[in-house]
């Protein structure tokens, strides 16, 4: 299975607080998979363990054909990681500079990506001149510039207003349809999950377990119109029913 992520018997606890105890999950290659679950159930921890930021306590995981140059991780408040002394262009170019690409190659890459996801920036300007939404978009573009095969996204839209949020979802889909990466999307927003993902993994309270993996057959690209369809609401209801079992209201 090329590009698949599999997690087996994963164990992790913070100060005797068990987040994962024999946690198992498998993610299909070339698909958008959303991880949805109650607050503090370990969604972000899962991404942090998979990307090597946080050590696991036990168990194992495997990401097929993974190396540090074919993956991107967009975390919450990702825009804070923009470098204010670099122009917008130089910020987007950073991942390619790290890979020692020539200036010519970088410019070509930026043009290509710009064409695909359709974003425009004042390239000679600086990030601090942009609005919060645009900054997140810039950071997003930077994460995609090296065309990663694996994309881990942790609540990328949570700090955005609804319009920018929809805008970013559209860009992400364009990238996805062009390159078919394996995308793991952590979110606490049902609409986001159903809008973007082909599979929605619903987690329980900690120690987290997979309650159910829900298929979402809505065709891509999913537009605003897709959000109003019966099929969309059906999937959303299903996710909600599974989610309901794990929360106390």
Partner 1 sequence: MKKYSIIGPILLILIWAIASWLQLVDKFFLPGPFTTIKKLAELLGSGIIIGDLLSTLERVVLSFVIAIIIGLPLGLWLGRSEKIYRSVEFIIDFFRSTPATALFPLFLLVFGITDKSKIAVAAFASMLIIIFNTAYGVMHAKKARILAAQIMGATKSQIFRWILFWESLPQTFIGLRSAISLSLVIIVVTEMFIGTTSGLGRRIIDAQITYEIPSMYAIILLTGIVGYLFNLLFIAVEKRFLHWSGK
55 binds partner 1 (CB under 8 A): no
Alpha-carbon gap, residue 66 to 227, rounded angstroms: 33
| 12 phi, psi to nearest 5 deg | -160, 130
Alpha-carbon gap, residue 137 to 119, rounded angstroms: 8
Q: What is the 3-state secondary structure (H, E, C) of 104-129?
A: HHHHHHHHHHHHHHCCCCCCCCCHHH
Q: Which is nearer to partner 1, 126 or 179 (CB)?
A: 126
Assigned token pair, 174:
């364009």
Q: In the bound complex, what is the minimum distance in angstroms from residue 78's beta carbon to partner 1?
A: 7
- By C-alpha distance, which of 208, 202, 152 is closest to 10? 208
241 binds partner 1 (CB under 8 A): no
Secondary structure letter of residue 220 according to DSSP:
S
80 binds partner 1 (CB under 8 A): yes
Alpha-carbon gap, residue 230 to 86, rounded angstroms: 46
Q: Which is nearer to partner 1, 36 or 78 (CB)?
A: 78
Query: Among 4-12, 21-29, 56-64, 72-80, which window interacts with partner 1 (CB under 8 A)?
Result: 72-80
Maximum CA extent, the chain? 57
Residue entry with tokens 């005797």: 16
Q: In the bound complex, what is the minimum distance in angstroms from residue 66's beta carbon to partner 1?
A: 12
97 binds partner 1 (CB under 8 A): yes
Q: Which is nearer to partner 1, 102 or 231 (CB)?
A: 102
- By C-alpha distance, which of 151, 148, 185 is closest to 44? 185
Q: In the bound complex, what is the minimum distance in angstroms from residue 156's beta carbon to partner 1?
A: 13
Secondary structure letter of residue 172 according to DSSP:
H
98 binds partner 1 (CB under 8 A): yes
Q: Which is nearer to partner 1, 84 or 217 (CB)?
A: 84
94 binds partner 1 (CB under 8 A): yes
**Which residue from 39, 128, 162, 217 is in contact with partner 1, where contact means CB under 8 A?**
128
162 binds partner 1 (CB under 8 A): no
Residues lying near partner 1 in the complex (CB under 8 A) are found at: 51, 53, 68-69, 72-73, 75, 77-78, 80-85, 94-95, 97-99, 126-128, 146
């Amino acid at each position: 299975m090329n590009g698949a992520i599999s997690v087996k018997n994963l164990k992790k606890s913070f100060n005797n607080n068990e987040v994962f105890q024999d946690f198992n999950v498998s993610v299909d290659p070339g698909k958008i998979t959303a991880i949805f679950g109650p607050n503090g159930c370990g969604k972000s921890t899962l991404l942090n363990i998979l990307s090597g930021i946080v050590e696991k306590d036990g168990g194992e995981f495997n990401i097929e054909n993974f190396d540090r140059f074919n993956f991107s991780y967009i975390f919450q408040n990702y825009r804070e990681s923009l470098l204010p002394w670099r122009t917008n262009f130089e910020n987007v170019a950073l991942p390619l500079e790290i890979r020692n690409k020539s200036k010519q190659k970088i410019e070509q890459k930026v043009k290509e990506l710009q064409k695909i996801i359709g974003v425009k920036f004042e390239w000679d300007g600086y990030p601090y001149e942009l609005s919060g939404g645009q900054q997140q978009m810039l950071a997003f573009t930077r994460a995609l510039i090296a065309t990663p095969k694996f994309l881990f996204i942790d609540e990328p839209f949570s700090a955005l207003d609804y319009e920018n949020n929809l805008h970013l979802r559209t860009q992400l889909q364009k990238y996805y349809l062009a390159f078919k990466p394996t995308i793991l999307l952590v979110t606490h927003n049902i609409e986001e999950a159903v809008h973007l993902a082909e599979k929605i993994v619903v987690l329980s309270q900690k120690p987290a377990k997979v309650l159910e993996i829900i298929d979402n057959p809505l065709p891509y690209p999913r537009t605003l119109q897709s959000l109003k369809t019966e099929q969309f609401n059906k999937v959303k209801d299903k996710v909600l029913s599974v989610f309901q079992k794990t929360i106390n209201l």
